[in-house]
């Protein structure tokens, strides 16, 4: 129900990157039904208006509290995010 507002906010804010934490936001943003463990760590492209925005899927913080061993996967995702941010800063 809130997706039109989310899309409009993205269009107005024009972020350079989007980080989706968890299955639900990731699935809604890229229109898939795969689980978060299959999606996490992967970059997708989201089209809003005339622009393409890179989107990274990662694990939800609540999941990490329940499954502390999975923090290593989330850390890898954050390192990937950092690399992308660094490359954007250089260009």
Domain ranges of the chain: 11-84
**pLDDT tens sequence across 17-44:** 999 999 999 999 999 999 999 999 999 9
pTM comes to: 0.91
Question: Per the CATH hierarchy, to which homologous superfamily does domain 11-84 belong?
Answer: Uracil-DNA glycosylase-like domain (3.40.470.10)
**pLDDT tens sequence across 69-83:** 999 999 999 999 999
Q: CA 87 → CA 12, 78, 80, 83, 84, distances in Å?
A: 23, 14, 11, 6, 5
Give the CA angle between residues 51, 22, 86 to the nearest 5°.
50
3-state secondary structure 45-79: EEEECCEEEEEEEECCHHHHHHCHHHHHHHHHHHH
């Amino acid at each position: 129900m809130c997706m039109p507002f989310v899309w409009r906010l993205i269009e107005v804010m024009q972020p350079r990157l989007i980080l989706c934490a968890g299955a639900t936001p990731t699935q809604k943003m890229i229109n898939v039904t795969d689980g978060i463990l299959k999606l996490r760590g992967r970059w997708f492209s989201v089209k809003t208006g005339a622009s393409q925005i890179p989107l990274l899927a990662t694990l939800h913080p609540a999941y990490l509290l329940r499954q502390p061993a999975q923090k290593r996967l989330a850390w890898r995702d954050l390192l990937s995010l950092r690399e992308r941010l660094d490359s954007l800063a250089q260009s």
